[in-house]
Structure 1
């Protein structure tokens, strides 16, 4: 069956969407909406430059591999706060993220973004679903992503599948960096993601966190910026699982495989605390 889409005539209004998210706290069902949302976007050089600075990417003529997430964020918010989406947006937990860069992302201007949700299934702590994003340019598919999202408190029939053990052999320390106390606010300004758990200790405590925590996608972006020339520019899949949050401020350590078409990575904190694990692979 072909995917159904709703094409938006006007861009999403983020302040209005945040208000909807803040005033909705109940689970209303267990059926995901069948239709996705689409909308055109344009890359704004000043906003892209600010994102590069916050995440540590150098100017190489290509979009950073994580930047399409920023372009899609408002549309994702629109989908996840719609009346037919059954779960409250605040409280969703981003467990894992997989991106695929299909072609080199150079000279990118006008794009079409599509977002949809799929594959609701049991999880040991509730239920998970996939938030799927695709980006097309004038030549066709350019980039796609799959984010695995957890909603606690949802009861579904069936058994939660076991998570496969990651392969993390042969990793060595590549670099370290500081995640400063204000990185949540700085990343929010370039991404639009003002989730309170990232902004300050005061707002994070409202949701059960003793300190603000770094955005998972900032951790991934900062990691890919550090890997730099180790990664191919296209025909690549980069997948990560988010483990323990990075509390702010703190120092993190990146371990990675040697440069090559395939490799593994691990982001750790004090005492070897595992924040993120992942890999990069060529597309089949």
Structure 2
């Protein structure tokens, strides 16, 4: 892996323009290149993120917040000329977070992103977008977001690595996903994908309504599970099923609080939106 170190986090508007212009697949190999930079945590921005995602005030950062710190670096990586797939149209299939130490009293961090694990899929090919955050003591937090690019042709059999349906869960709580949550989440995350912003822009990409960001669904779920989850040495994995159309109401089912458990997010008509697990890091 070759690493390129940036002086600061990328400026997003040119990257959106670059993403809009690239609409075709240009290859079938991932580049052997990663990006790194230093980042600082802004308490006012964290507070705005907590409000949008339902997290209570705490000295510990929300488990999903490092994704927000990484978004610009991820955009730069996925819109680079060396990256073979168009960013618009990628589908976020699953997300896994591992928190090695508590995310408290941290400000100056080193962030890195790269891609790996390109595999055939029944509808194209998948790869992992890997994000890591380190402080002076070493690895603090890491995540893999599995992405699908339709239409890529790869040799080999498609593996079935979907999570099993949760079995020992009961209804914990419910909440509304309002019509404007895509725009509100975009303002704190930087992710202005048109499918999340309004019915009008979502229809341009084949969706009848706007859909909630997958990472907002995960963040809102983890906010509701705060009392269930340890602050460190925890591996939280979710798989995104049917999208949450906006506006709508969802119900969260979960195991009892403990070091390991399962979760399930359902919508109207028992539509499964997200399944997941949490457990100690192996």
Short-chain TM bin: over 0.9
Which of 261, 264, 268 matches 2:262?
A: 264
Ranges in structure 2 where 5+ consecutive residues have no aligned partner: none
- Equivalences for 1:177-216 in 2 at 5 Å? 177-216=175-214
SS of 1:141's partner is strand
How many residues matched? 282
Q: Which residue of 2 aligns with 1:69?
A: 67
Unaligned runs of 5+ in 1: none
Q: Quote the offset at 1:9 in angstroms.
A: 2.5
1:165 Cα offset (Å)? 5.1
Determine the C-alpha separation between the residues in 1 that align with 2:29 and 2:197.
32
SS of match in other structure, 1:173:
strand
Q: Which contiguous aligned blocks of 4+ residues in structure 1 show a shift greater than 4 angstroms?
A: none
Q: Could you tell me how far apart the structure 2 residues matched to 1:233 and 1:195 are?
A: 31
Change (3 A) 1:43 1:10: closer
Instruction: Show the 5 A alignment for 1:226-241.
Output: 226-241=224-239
CA contact (8 A) 2:249 2:267 kept: yes
Q: By how many angstroms is 1:11 displaced?
A: 2.7
**Aligned partner of residue 187 in structure 2, secondary structure:** helix
Matched, 1:33 2:31: yes
Q: TM-score if structure 1 supplies the norm length?
A: 0.98
* Correspondent of 1:155 among 146, 153, 170: 153
* In 2, Cα distance between equivalents of 1:253 and 1:124: 30
Task: Provide the alpha-carbon RMSD of the alignment.
Answer: 0.8
How far is 1:138 from its partner?
A: 1.4
Partner of 2:136: 138
Whether contact under 8 Å (2:163, 2:239) holds in the other structure is no
The 10-residue stretch of structure 1 (160-169 or 232-241) with the greater mean CA deviation from structure 2: 160-169
Contact 2:8 2:39 in 1 (8 A): no
